[in-house]
Structure 1
Amino acid sequence: MKKRILILSVLAVFFSCSDATDIVQAGELNDARLFTSVNNIQLFLNETYDRLGTENEILVSSLLTDEVAIGSGLVSNETQRFFLLTTNGFAANIWNSHYNTINYCNRLLRGAALYTPKASETAQYNSILAQARALRAFSHFQLLTYFSTDLSNDAAPGVMLVDFVPTADQDIPRSTNGEVFKLIESDLAYAQANLINPTGPTAYKFINSNFIRAFKARMYLYRKNYAQALINADDALTNSGLVLSTSTVSVANFPSTASTVVPNGAANGANTINVDPGTGFPVQRALFQIDQWASTSSPMYRKMWVDAAQGEILFAVDKPINKINFSSQYNTNGSYITGGPLYDMGRSLFNLYNADLGGGAQDYRRWCFVDRSSTISATPATASRTSEVIVIDKYPGKNGGHTANDLKVFRLSEIYFIKAECLIRSGNLTGAADLIRQVRQARSYTGGVVPLPVYANATAAIADVLLERRKELSFEGHRYIDLKRLGADAGVTGTDRFAQDAVNSSATNPVNINVTDYRFTLPIPQREINVNALTQNPGY
């Protein structure tokens, strides 16, 4: 009797729970109730923009290459030691973040289909769909970039193609690169045909024509379709309405001699000079920054990095103060020596900024990307982690927030590099050299004319493009992919990490890895392998 009562009780609970799951609860906000106007669809799009981010790509690129060293505030980091497992948090975050964005895009597209716009609303309605599809295309591309072994091979395994809202129990296999790129190109074609360009001072933080031009130029470059990459790069250079941000500074009381000198990082007055040990090159404090961020006398290049001006930015992800404080990933509380640096700039990269640009031109990136409070050792080969602290200042925060910065996704300088690489592939080495010279000239703050590089062959030209991309696009998520794409063609064997920047190096914990190493493709996260039975990338 007890058994019968127990069985009946279980059945009663089962059927009552089943009935409950079929009930539409009062006040439930489902698609039919949400997507009832263009304004509501726009609100959902705004939330979709908030899903987008490239923070994890930037960090994994810094850690898995030669951009950073472990700072005095950290003991060790598995990723920075090239210890990459299928449970790696950065790989999982890239995967989850972009599929989250894709899910929002698909929910918007599904919900918007329930609403028929009025004639007066059609253009705005279609533009909202265009932005959602462009965001979906970009997220699929980011996933391919980090999880596909070879973007130039359409038959190679890609990622999960998701152009619908899946159910919780639905398995989704990996599609080929070609299948995913077909969706991306379809989404971009729709976006290009239906987008209403945003206007106003923050227009570059929304999907716009420049985003599409730059996206297509990068996408086709990575696929080694250089003809299409060149067409879109030219389109961006000709029609973006932007120019390279200049770095020149005019300081009325800039001294002609280093008569008043203090060590780099000491407490300075407005008219004293910082000197890097071993170089003796002076630079006045005002040349770098008047306050923590920028002033009216700061060059446009500096204003761009503190979110005070658009400059040459084609598209950025908006990150307001107190939303996602990305800069705290490099420096806990601020990009200065007392701000808790977690990662220092790699010494090999720092040395490149100290180099003369030629023709008497000096590189402003030395002063824009390295905080003046840094301690620079005259003997870096024997310096300890605490005696040399090269504070990364590419994300210095913005006025009112020490650790909040927008994420610059596409900039005009990258388009110059894309065109230069395309010209090299077609044999026009001189044309490529002039593009590289123009970027270097824009980064000079001392005047002088940067000389035109002379390349003996395509290998030397590609190596120079890779070098300039390393300097200009540091801490923007490019170095990891650039080494994978261009290393072999440039005659570069691997990462260029300074020996002192490695932690307890050994055979299993190397200072550097080769460009052919399997770790230049991220592992499919183990949780996705378990759930969707996806095939893992080689080496893991």
Structure 2
Amino acid sequence: MMSFRKIFLVTVLGSVITSCSEDFLDPELSRSKDFTTSVNTIEDLQGLILGAYDRMNASTYYGRDYVVFAEVRSDNAFSNGNSGRFVSPGQFVVSATDAYADDTWQQIYSVIANTNIVINSQIEGDETDEVQYVKGQAYAIRALAYMDLLRLYGQQYTGGNLGVPIVTEFKNDNNKFPSRATVAEVWNQVGEDLEKAAAIMKPSLDSGSPTEMTTSAVFALQSRYYLNVEDWQNAAIAAKKVIDSQNYDIAPASEFAKSWSVNEGSNSVFELAFTDADNLGNTSLFYIYHETNYGDIEVTSDLYDSYDAADVRKTVYTDVEGVIRTAKYPSFYDNVRVIRYEEVVLNYAEALTHLNDPNALTYLNMIPQNRGASTYAIANVDNVLQERRKELAMEGFRFFDLMRYGRDIVKVDQGQTFADGGISFGSPELAFPIPQRELNANPNIEPNQ
């Protein structure tokens, strides 16, 4: 049965898009397309926001690929090549013609296209709190999309300063071929979008569902953003707002394993909903992670052995004759957690660590205390990174956490297929290539090395 969400999305988009095909929602970055539409009501805007969520669900974004990229390009996991998937990312040899580079680029920019329409639309009652709330959601989603593009394709880890093109209008005849902004400019865009979202979204309008971008989700994203730009004070402030809301809980040890099969749990700040209509089937995280399906992604013994025997997190892995896999995402229909409360707590602990705040250790230890694991004697960067690794493993964080601290990618398992010496921080292999299709279409865009 088609969900209400799907019916609403189809109905609204059907009424909004009156004289052009649906592919206007999936523009290539540098290609000018006619866009004739009538966005008149808040329902129209809400339909476009639902479209943005649906595009984030795609297997080429949070539905699978973006999550897996951060794991196979780290010390957490590798591709065994069972079905030939994720081999080139795991080897750090993605080329400009590789579908991984091209598909994820296009998908994230299609999300941005939806948000740009919402942000730039002028409708009746535009200044009402309800309309501004929807536009705030669009700003926050756009911020997340640019953060994700920059972390994957930007040169900040390779010694360069080029980021990605910043597009803030659906169609701009005066800038059909945008150049790459600098890394700093893209980070500034992310920060400004999040500030705008926080300023115009009223908490009283939050739905209470983590499947929508709420004010708490905006603050959580701000804490993630500020960690990336090393603004520890503002990272702490943003994370504390989520903590002080008292809307969320750390999943206790007794519930941790089960929490992965429960959608909209009390530890979820923002997740992407997967209904019957969203079922990604053999392109899902479930299919790529689990032995009964493709099972291409194996967990390194180094990660598995990092857990204490009594740590409940060890129960969400299977070890069959030395082949280790995660049991997170146990079915096709599990929502993908983009922000868990546990991340926010660890973001706060990390920020406090840099601020030399004595409360850092208290918050750092809140996670292992709820996992049956050993606690830490001190709060330092190495311990924060270790706890983030154990708590957030296989969820799309590890590569980016290592990069934030200028760490090398170390080969810890013979199943990993990159060079024995690892990948040094600063290597050009750490940035995904700009897709060849984009290079061919846009004369102003520069490739990565």
Scaled by the length of structure 1, what TM-score is found? Answer: 0.69
Listed as ranges, the matches of 1:380-399 within 5 Å are 388-397=322-331
User: Aligned in 2, Cα 1:228/1:60: closer, same or farther, shift over 3 Å?
Assistant: same
Which residue is equivalent to 1:436? Answer: 364
Which residue is equivalent to 2:274? Answer: 319
Shift of 1:85: 2.2
> Quick one: which of 362, 368, 378 aligns to 1:454?
378
Which AA in structure 1 matches 2:268?
A: I
Counterparts of 1:521 and 1:33, CA distance in 2: 37
Which residue is equivalent to 2:346? Answer: 417
Counterparts of 1:333 and 1:343, CA distance in 2: 6
Which residue is equivalent to 1:375? Answer: 320
Which residue is equivalent to 1:514? Answer: 424
User: Aligned in 2, Cα 1:188/1:82: closer, same or farther, shift over 3 Å?
Assistant: closer
Kindly provide the CA deviation profile for residues 28-86 of structure 1, in whole angstroms up to 9, marking residues without a partner as x.
35977632332233222222221224232211112211222334734682221222323
Counterparts of 2:424 and 2:185, CA distance in 1: 30
> Quick one: which of 111, 127, 139 aligns to 2:145?
139
Which residue is equivalent to 2:164? Answer: 159
Kindly provide the CA deviation profile for residues 374-399 of structure 1, in whole angstroms up to 9, marking residues without a partner as x.
413xxxxxxxxxxx3323211102xx
> Quick one: which of 176, 179, 184 aligns to 1:173?
179
Listed as ranges, the matches of 1:111-260 within 5 Å are 112-113=121-122, 115-117=123-125, 122-150=128-156, 156-166=161-171, 170-197=176-203, 199=206, 203-248=209-254
Give unpaired runs (5+ residues) of structure 2: 1-17, 21-33
User: Aligned in 2, Cα 1:517/1:128: closer, same or farther, shift over 3 Å?
Assistant: same
> Quick one: which of 44, 66, 80 aligns to 2:48?
44
Counterparts of 1:451 and 1:134, CA distance in 2: 34
Counterparts of 2:150 and 2:126, CA distance in 1: 38
Shift of 1:163: 0.7
Shift of 1:320: 2.1
Which AA in structure 2 matches 1:454?
A: I
Which residue is equivalent to 1:96? Answer: 106
Contact 1:230 1:418 in 2 (8 A): yes
Counterparts of 1:423 and 1:51, CA distance in 2: 35
Counterparts of 1:51 and 1:45, CA distance in 2: 10
Which residue is equivalent to 2:447? Answer: 536
Counterparts of 1:487 and 1:137, CA distance in 2: 23
Shift of 1:316: 0.9
User: Aligned in 2, Cα 1:49/1:511: closer, same or farther, shift over 3 Å?
Assistant: same
Counterparts of 2:286 and 2:198, CA distance in 1: 39
Compute the RMSD of aligned alpha carbons. 3.0
Partner of 2:387: helix, strand, or coil?
helix
Shift of 1:214: 0.7
Contact 1:434 1:452 in 2 (8 A): no
Scaled by the length of structure 2, what TM-score is found? Answer: 0.82
Counterparts of 1:469 and 1:193, CA distance in 2: 30
Partner of 1:307: helix, strand, or coil?
coil
Which residue is equivalent to 1:18? Answer: none
User: Aligned in 2, Cα 1:312/1:35: closer, same or farther, shift over 3 Å?
Assistant: same
User: Aligned in 2, Cα 1:193/1:450: closer, same or farther, shift over 3 Å?
Assistant: same
> Quick one: which of 76, 80, 83 aligns to 1:67?
76
Give the structure with higher Rg (CA): 1
User: Aligned in 2, Cα 1:222/1:52: closer, same or farther, shift over 3 Å?
Assistant: same
Counterparts of 1:130 and 1:331, CA distance in 2: 32
Q: Is 1:467 matched with 2:414?
A: no
Listed as ranges, the matches of 1:279-358 within 5 Å are 299=255, 301-325=256-280, 329=284, 332=287, 335=290, 337-353=291-307, 355-356=308-309
Contact 1:483 1:515 in 2 (8 A): no
Partner of 2:164: helix, strand, or coil?
strand
Which AA in structure 2 matches 1:390?
A: I
Which AA in structure 1 matches 2:441?
A: V
Which residue is equivalent to 1:279? Answer: none
Contact 2:140 2:194 in 1 (8 A): yes
Contact 1:327 1:396 in 2 (8 A): no
Contact 2:206 2:215 in 1 (8 A): no
Counterparts of 2:432 and 2:229, CA distance in 1: 18
Contact 2:288 2:296 in 1 (8 A): no
Which AA in structure 2 matches 1:225?
A: D
> Quick one: which of 66, 74, 97 aligns to 1:87?
97
User: Aligned in 2, Cα 1:167/1:304: closer, same or farther, shift over 3 Å?
Assistant: same
Kindly provide the CA deviation profile for residues 226-264 of structure 1, in whole angstroms up to 9, marking residues without a partner as x.
11111112222212521211013xxxxxxxxxxxxxxxx
Kindly provide the CA deviation profile for residues 393-438 of structure 1, in whole angstroms up to 9, marking residues without a partner as x.
11102xxxxx23212111122122222222222234x533332221
Shift of 1:99: 0.7
Partner of 1:390: helix, strand, or coil?
strand
Shift of 1:103: 0.9
Shift of 1:123: 2.3
Identity value in percent: 21
* Stretch of structure 1 that moved more, 125-134 or 213-222: 125-134
Counterparts of 2:84 and 2:148, CA distance in 1: 30
Contact 2:117 2:170 in 1 (8 A): yes
Shift of 1:487: 4.7
User: Aligned in 2, Cα 1:209/1:341: closer, same or farther, shift over 3 Å?
Assistant: same
User: Aligned in 2, Cα 1:433/1:529: closer, same or farther, shift over 3 Å?
Assistant: same
Counterparts of 2:257 and 2:264, CA distance in 1: 9
Counterparts of 1:216 and 1:229, CA distance in 2: 7
Contact 1:497 1:511 in 2 (8 A): no
Which residue is equivalent to 1:502? Answer: 416
Which AA in structure 2 matches 1:512?
A: G
